[in-house]
Structure 1
């Protein structure tokens, strides 16, 4: 799997085409692209979302999440791209792509990766509106989604 952190926008279609081109044993490709919304959590028009991170910490955690996905499902390959910095509404924030022999595996691994990214990836988010900037709090719904994957 490739795990990449970057500030620049990416082209999901081009990324997935490169990942899946000529791959033997692939019967399913599942992708998810998260986009920056145009509204803040309080409903105000959003000018930008600002994602801060510590590069080494974020890279290590994304690689840990990826390794857990590989341990749970037989993936042919996968790709995880996560942006940081100032992101404007409509721009891509995250891309998860999973390749496997079967669709159920690809779907489950992609869902797992996204659920854990929302709760475990060390990014700190601020919403920028006309009124200023404010930190985005963690959401209980994201924690509940990740909890379904816990082993125990």
Structure 2
């Protein structure tokens, strides 16, 4: 299986790659990117950033690259990709984002949170966690999808990993 993670030139994307060692990882970013292929991932360009066609650009790149799973992490992609989730599903491309109606609970563009602890959920199952003590394995997040920072205060909150 192949996963495409956006924000490919960022340290955050490189950190997320380690959660998908069973996948063929493709990191992608806008503009020029160095031509690079490693054992862990390849790096490709998404072309010039055009916020009016983000979902279309990502869908085309996923189809060109044979992608099965998409993890968008640029904050400006989240809304557009969440709205196009049905379109991606029609091409058998799963998007690692919460459902559109739940998105506001996990993502606020004015208040982007960061944490050292993070986890990745796919269909409600924990795929990876950076700190096993930060989240219990019996955490039931229904059909939650995405990469989340684990924000600890009086209880654990999940906030989408974005750059």
Tell me which interval the TM-score lies in, with the shorter structure as reference length. Answer: under 0.3
Structure (1/2) with the larger strand percentage? 1
Which protein has the bigger helix share? 1
- Larger RCO (alpha carbons 8 Å, 6+ apart): 1
Q: TM-score, normalised by structure 2?
A: 0.24
TM (norm. structure 1) is 0.26
The structure with the larger Rg is 1
